[in-house]
Each structure stands twice: as structure tokens, then as C-alpha cells.
């Protein structure tokens, strides 16, 4: 399925909406004239206007004009965004949520009670968890479908959209908060580690720009090694560590600093917070 003539809507025009919509417009997959965005501020809408998209403060216009609607507001604003929406027509398209912590069941109840949506399965609801490297075509998105939605065509819509800008996997909804804490929040952990590695290089005399470039490429190369060789990260680590060498000395320093435990704790903390936000 191609999306050149599909009407695509975003309720919320922030970073995640941009990662999806702006990137796909740049690739020519979404036509700007067919993209609609609603937001609460003129500043956000002005950004999208400059890209050629249609903009509005009225969320109802998104549902009235679009075939595929992305819900991309912060979780604490979702109920307000839906409850204040007034539509003129019955919506029978696809709703794709990128909202942290909000279950499909909660989304369905909000939509059914507010948007004149009729009864299932006249429309499809998907819960997704993307990450911001979608901007550079290296994103990760996981998704779950409504239990009432078994239509292969609507699943294909979700998979084809996100596959244009990264990898996509269907998962059980019970895993989404945990996966979000890993792959959704993971880029932030990686950025912090890149910065720290570069700082270490600067401390030892490497110019800042070069240190940052080298540190970033370390993560690109290491990730590809894991994905393309199929080897366990522990094995790849061992292959770099010569007996009595410099790398094993660095690994020892990392263990003393609790890097491994800190990353495990980060994923756990982020998953717990996702559930809190959704409630």
C-alpha cells in the first residue's frame, strides 16, 4: 500500500509527530498537502505550516479530514484532547497512538464515548512505541493492535508506515511499557554514554569535535556488530579484551562505576514511570 493519496492527521505536533510526519514527508511518502496537524500553540503550528501541512487548533478537523490519525499528545493531555473534540462525521479510519503508558482499552473507551465512532470494527486502534531515531531512518517501533482488530490490511498500514523509517515489530501489549523503557528511552541513555565517552577522550587530549565523532561511531559500529554477526554482546566484548590489556582495564573501571547496574535500573525506572503516566 502506498500513502501518497492518504490523508494523514496528527493530534499533537511535537517531537514524535515530527519524527514520523516530517521524516515521511521528506522521503516523499506523505504529501504535505495531505497532512493535517492540530496543536495548542501557534508556534508549533507555524513549524508545520512551513512544511506545507494543513494546520488547525480544532482536533475534530483531524478526524473529519483524515484516514489515518496519530495521537501524539503527552499522556496527561490525552483526555482533554479527546473530550474537547467535536466531529461532523463518523470516523472509520485508523487511529495510531504514540502515547506513553496509555492502554488500547483506555483509548477505545475515550474514543467511543466522544467521537461518534459508531461501533467496532468500523475503525482500528493501534498502540505504538516509536523512538526518535526515526528522524534518520534508524528508528525502532513496536506496536499492538486492538483485540477487536484482526484485519490484516490495517496492520499492514502500520507496518508499512514505520518500516519506511526503521524497524517495526508486533508485540503483546503487556510488553510495551517495558520495551518503551528500553528502545523508546534507550537513545537518551546512549546519548549520555556518547557524551561521557567523548568527555573521556577530551580529558586525554582529543579535540572535542573528533572525540564526539569517534564516540558516536563506536555505538553505530557496535550495534551493527551485534545485529549482523548474531554474536552475544559478551562474546564481542571478550574479543576486544586482550589479557592484561587496556580494554579490560577500562571494563574493570566501568564495573566499579556500576554502569551495568545503572542501565538496568534506568530501564526499570522508565518502565515504572510509563505505567504511572498512563494511569
Instruction: Please report the DSSP string for 132-173 in residue order.
Output: GGGGGT-EEEEEEE-TT---HHHHHHHHHHHHTTEEEEE--G
Does residue 74 have a known ligand-binding role?
yes
Q: 257 and 143, same structural domain?
A: no
- Give the chain's domain count: 2
Is 58 within 8 Å of 169 (Cβ atoms)? Answer: no
**186 labelled binding-site residue:** no
The domain containing residue 29 runs over which residues? 8-176
Please report whether residue 99 resides in a domain: yes
pLDDT, tens digit only, all 279 positions of the chain: 555 678 999 999 999 999 999 999 999 999 999 999 999 999 999 999 999 999 999 999 999 999 999 999 998 999 888 888 877 777 778 999 999 989 999 888 888 777 655 444 467 899 999 999 999 999 999 999 987 665 677 888 899 999 999 999 999 999 999 999 999 999 999 999 999 999 999 999 999 999 999 999 999 999 999 999 999 999 999 999 999 999 999 999 999 999 999 999 999 999 999 888 877
Same-domain status, 202 and 265: yes
The answer to whether the annotation marks 96 as part of a ligand binding site is: no
Residues 238, 270 within the same domain: yes
Is position 59 annotated in a ligand binding site?
A: yes
Looking at the domain assignment, is residue 108 inside a domain? yes
Does 207 carry a binding-site annotation?
A: no
Regarding beta strands 94-97 and 124-129, do their DSSP bridges make them parallel or antiparallel, or are they unpaired? parallel
Q: Is 16 annotated as a binding-site member?
A: yes
The verdict on 156 and 269 lying in the same domain is no
**226 belongs to a structural domain:** yes
Q: Are residues 57 and 147 located together in one domain of the fold?
A: yes
Same domain? For 206 and 229 the reply is yes
Q: Is 180 annotated as a binding residue?
A: no
Query: Is residue 12 a known part of a binding site?
Result: yes
Residue 1 belongs to some domain of the structure: no
Predicted pLDDT of residue 119? 47
Q: pLDDT value at position 108?
A: 87
Q: Is 15 annotated as a binding residue?
A: yes
Amino acid at each position: 500500500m502506498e500513502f501518497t493519496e492518504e490523508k494523514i492527521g496528527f493530534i499533537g505536533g511535537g517531537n514524535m509527530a515530527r519524527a514520523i510526519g516530517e521524516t515521511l514527508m521528506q522521503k516523499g511518502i506523505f504529501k504535505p498537502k495531505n497532512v493535517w496537524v492540530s496543536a495548542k500553540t501557534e508556534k508549533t503550528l507555524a513549524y508545520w505550516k512551513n512544511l506545507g501541512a494543513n494546520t488547525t487548533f480544532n482536533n475534530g478537523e483531524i478526524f473529519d479530514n483524515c484516514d489515518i490519525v496519530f495521537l501524539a499528545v503527552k499522556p496527561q493531555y490525552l483526555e482533554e484532547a479527546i473530550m474537547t473534540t467535536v466531529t461532523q462525521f463518523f470516523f472509520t479510519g485508523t487511529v495510531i497512538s504514540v502515547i506513553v503508558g496509555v492502554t488500547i482499552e483506555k483509548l477505545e473507551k475515550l474514543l467511543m464515548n466522544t467521537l461518534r465512532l459508531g461501533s467496532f470494527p468500523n475503525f482500528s486502534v493501534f498502540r505504538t512505541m516509536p523512538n526518535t531515531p526515526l528522524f534518520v531512518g534508524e528508528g525502532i517501533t513496536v506496536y499492538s493492535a486492538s483485540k477487536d482488530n484482526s484485519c490484516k490490511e490495517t496492520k499492514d498500514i502500520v507496518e508499512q508506515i514505520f518500516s519506511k523509517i526503521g524497524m517495526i515489530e508486533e508485540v503483546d501489549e503487556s510488553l510495551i511499557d517495558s520495551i518503551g523503557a528500553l528502545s523508546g528511552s534507550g537513545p537518551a541513555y546512549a546519548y549520555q554514554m556518547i557524551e561521557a565517552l567523548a568527555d573521556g577522550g577530551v580529558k586525554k587530549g582529543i579535540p572535542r569535535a573528533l572525540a564526539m565523532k569517534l564516540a558516536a561511531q563506536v555505538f553505530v559500529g557496535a550495534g551493527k556488530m551485534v545485529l549482523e554477526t548474531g554474536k552475544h554482546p559478551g562474546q564481542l566484548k571478550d574479543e576486544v579484551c586482550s589479557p592484561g590489556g587496556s580494554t579490560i582495564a577500562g571494563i574493570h573501571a566501568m564495573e566499579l562505576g556500576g554502569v551495568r547496574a545503572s542501565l538496568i535500573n534506568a530501564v526499570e525506572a522508565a518502565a515504572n514511570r510509563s505505567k504511572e503516566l498512563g494511569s
